[in-house]
Amino acid sequence: MSENENNFEALRRLLALKRYETPPPGYFNSFSSHVLKQIRDGRSVESTGSLGNLFGQAPWLGKLLQVFNAKPVFASGFAGALCLLLFFGIVYAERPDLASQPLLEAATTTASFSALSPTALSPLPEQMGIVSSTNPVLSLQAVASTAVFGQQNPLAQPASFSIPGN
């Protein structure tokens, strides 16, 4: 390495020239105050840097913006599409017939399911041999008997069931 060092001696002497390149006089007198001022102000010098990070994580976003910059027609089209989407969203939400239908369906399903749930969904009384003298006993029997014939949907049972002799 020492031979190499000697070979580069002239170069190192030339590189010493760089040490004489100095900033304008008095530059460092105000440097730290500029830094502290920016820290105090809370001004983020790196606001563009954080945007750059965002584009780094989602490069498609950067490309999209480039396309919008190049052709504003795309930007207006995109904005129009967003507005339409928003408009239909509001209309859909405000129409009671459209908006409430799925909710009603959901409510009936929940109601019929909850009607069965204390008995059909809980196998505990059956397993423990506890038999009640009230209706749930009959309902349990009905569900059990229909299940034998392959009717796997217990939700349909309570609607068609009638208690004989009542």
Partner 1 sequence: MSTPVTSTDDSEAPAPVDEESLVRQARRGDLEAYDELVRRHQERIYATIYHMTSNHEDANDLAQESFIKAFQALKSFKGGSSFYTWLYRIAVNKTINFLKQRKNRIHMSLNDLDFNTEHNPDLVALISEKTPLREVNLAELQEKLNNALLKLSEPHRLVVVLHDVQGMPHDEIAKVMESNIGTVRSRLFYARQQLQALLSDYLQ
Question: What's the rounded Cα separation, in Å, for the pair 66 and 63?
Answer: 5
- Which C-beta is closer to partner 1: that of 22 or that of 133? 22
148 phi/psi in degrees, rounded to 5:
-65, -35
- Which C-beta is closer to partner 1: that of 21 or that of 94? 21
Question: What's the rounded Cα separation, in Å, for the pair 116 and 136?
Answer: 9
Question: How many CB atoms within 10 Å of residue 59?
Answer: 9
Query: Using the rule CB under 8 A, is 15 a contact of partner 1?
Result: yes
Among 2, 18, 26, 97, binds partner 1 (CB under 8 A): 18
The window from 22-30, 91-99, 127-135, 155-163 that contacts partner 1 (CB under 8 A) reads 22-30
CB of 25 to partner 1, least distance (A): 10
Yes or no: say if 68 and 78 are a contact pair by the CB < 8 Å rule: yes
Question: What's the rounded Cα separation, in Å, for the pair 26 and 11?
Answer: 31
Among 2, 3, 17, 96, binds partner 1 (CB under 8 A): 17
- Map residues 27-66 to x or -, x wherever contact with partner 1 holds by CB under 8 A: -x--xxxxxx-xxx----xx--------------------
